[in-house]
């Protein structure tokens, strides 16, 4: 099973991201755009995982968020990996709530390491992926900021991702609510 842990997004945030994609599409050729319904705020990618480990992973998630209180998340500007001049990935960042998301990611990293999941080599950077570009070219994304939207983050989800020729499909295996 290909698994990851994410904070689910509100309908309003997904709508703002879809609107942002529509503004960007004419400016970027060769991009594979993420379906707005499939955009999520990943806090830990687990990759291929044995199905028998789902219970242990869910227990780690439960321990990490049991003291977390729901918090506000708001969108910030457009970014790109490795950079915004010749990006391979186009994303929207998080401003309000960024530290809370980073703390959850750090705590998950530590908890999952205890049960044998390797630590991520790259530093965690909370973002919402809008598009991937296989053959990146120079782009200009000035004045492409998403409309400022906010939502209350109130849970994390353990999600199974299945890759298909038409893109990934997602199934929520477990949702753990913030109860702090």
Angle between helices 54-65 and 98-114 (to 10 degrees): 140
Tokens 């890759």 — which residue?
163
Respond yes or no: is residue 54 known to be catalytic. no
CA distance 92 to 52: 34
DSSP 145: P
Any catalytic annotation for residue 146? no
For the record, the structure tokens of 11 come out as 């309908």
Selected catalytic residue, list 4, 36, 40, 91: 40
Measure the CA–CA gap between 170 and 177, rounded to whole angstroms. Answer: 19
Active-site residue among 14, 44, 127, 149?
Answer: 127
Residues recognised as catalytic: 40, 127
């Amino acid at each position: 099973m290909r698994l990851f842990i994410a904070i689910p997004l509100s309908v309003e945030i997904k709508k703002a991201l879809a609107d942002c994609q529509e503004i960007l599409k004419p400016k970027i050729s060769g991009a594979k755009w993420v379906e707005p319904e499939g955009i999520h705020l990943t806090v830990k990618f687990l990759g291929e995982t044995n199905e028998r480990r789902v219970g242990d992973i869910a227990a780690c998630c439960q321990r990490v968020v049991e003291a977390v209180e729901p918090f506000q998340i708001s969108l910030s500007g457009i970014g790109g990996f490795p950079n915004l001049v010749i990006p391979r990935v186009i994303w929207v960042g998080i401003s309000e709530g960024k530290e809370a998301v980073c703390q959850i990611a750090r705590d998950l990293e530590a908890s999952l390491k205890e049960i044998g999941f390797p630590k991520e080599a790259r530093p965690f950077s909370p973002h919402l992926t809008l598009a991937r570009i296989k053959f990146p070219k120079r782009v200009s994304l000035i004045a492409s900021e998403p409309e400022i939207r906010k939502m209350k983050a109130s849970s994390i989800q353990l999600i199974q991702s299945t890759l298909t020729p038409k893109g990934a499909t997602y199934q929520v295996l477990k949702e753990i609510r913030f109860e702090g």
